[in-house]
Amino acid sequence: MDTGFAPVRRGRASDALLHGAPRHRCRKSPERVVGCTVAVPRDPYDLKVLRGSRASEVPRPPPAGAPYDRIHMTAGVRRIPAAWLEQAAPGAILLLPGGGTDYSPHDAALRLVVEGPGRACGPFTMALSFMKLRAQRAVPAVIDLPEGWPDAARVCGTELGLADVVGGPYDPVEFVLGLCVPDCVPVVVPGEGAGEGTLWLTAAGADPSVAAAGFARGRRANVLQVGPRSLWTEVEDAYRWWDRAGRPDVFDFGLAVTVTDGEVHQAPWHDNPQRELPDI
């Protein structure tokens, strides 16, 4: 099943992904199904268009053709929908831009193999970037400073630089930091020179956490942290672990996904599925 595909590319990708199996296709936007349906008779592939308005409905109850041997997604996915594993056959392959976190807007290609009911596991294969599913797009960070800031903040310093924890578009450091430090949103306020500025870190919730690290040329960075989580400490610990591990790339990591009573649990791993990431 191809999900979210543009009609002009669906046949080619179906051929590469499904290797002759019956093709099914689900549009995320029901209002756009009509145009897709018109295009099907002009395509040499026997495509069936399925209607589903959200990623968690592909659609439900399971449509004709399920369980599927292949599921292909062409939008960035932060959380694997439970329905995808429920509608996948044992040994099925799911190929998608996954692994996206709040720390970076980018993704990584993820190849999951279904190991049993509600269980799938596989590696990230390359860095890339896709538009996210509508329901999973990040909300712009709001830095809500607590009363008494900065006097109530915990103060520390760091030898790291801004470039150490804020990489380029496909730099693995942001990908790894996002896996190790969940629900942490960075906001960079640039300074006047290269490597200068303030890195704000936020984690929303009933009791939010905020950290601010100020970087200036020739000076040791100063860090302020407030809330139940010491976000900068978590980010620095994750960076130190990644550095000690030899700075592994995106394809050295993977994801194990389990679904229990409709709840999805995602556990990233390093080198092999038995080596979960350290508890930062």
Tens digits of per-residue pLDDT, 47-85?
A: 566 655 545 545 455 666 778 899 888 888 888 889 889
DSSP assigned state of 104: B
What is the distance between the alpha carbons of residues 88 and 226, in angstroms, rounded to a whole number?
Answer: 44
Q: What is the pLDDT of residue 227?
A: 92
Query: SS3 string of 173-188?
Result: HHHHHHHHCCCCEEEE
Average confidence (pLDDT) over 212-221? 91
Residue written as tokens 């790339």? 249
Q: Is residue 69 in some structural domain? A: yes
Whether 6 and 127 map to the same domain: the answer is: yes
Tell me which residue range forms the domain holding 26. 2-136+249-270
Whether 65 and 192 map to the same domain: the answer is: no
What is the distance between the alpha carbons of residues 146 and 226, in angstroms, rounded to a whole number?
Answer: 8
pLDDT in tens, 263-273: 999 999 999 99
Q: For residues 133 and 76, is the Cβ–Cβ distance under 8 A?
A: yes
Name the more confident of 49 and 246. 246
CA angle 184, 205, 222 (to 5 degrees): 45
Whether 23 and 127 map to the same domain: the answer is: yes
* pLDDT(40) > 80: no
How many CB atoms lie under 10 A from the CB of residue 229?
A: 20
Whether 10 and 127 map to the same domain: the answer is: yes
On average, the pLDDT of the chain sits at 81
What is the distance between the alpha carbons of residues 76 and 136, in angstroms, rounded to a whole number?
Answer: 8
Q: For residues 26 and 1, is the Cβ–Cβ distance under 8 A?
A: yes
Which of 23, 10, 13 is CA-nearest to residue 64?
23
Whether 237 and 256 map to the same domain: the answer is: no
pLDDT in tens, 158-190: 999 999 999 887 889 999 999 999 999 999 998
Q: What is the pTM of this model?
A: 0.80
* pLDDT(11) > 60: no
Whether 125 and 186 map to the same domain: the answer is: no
Q: For residues 121 and 273, is the Cβ–Cβ distance under 8 A?
A: yes
Whether 105 and 158 map to the same domain: the answer is: no
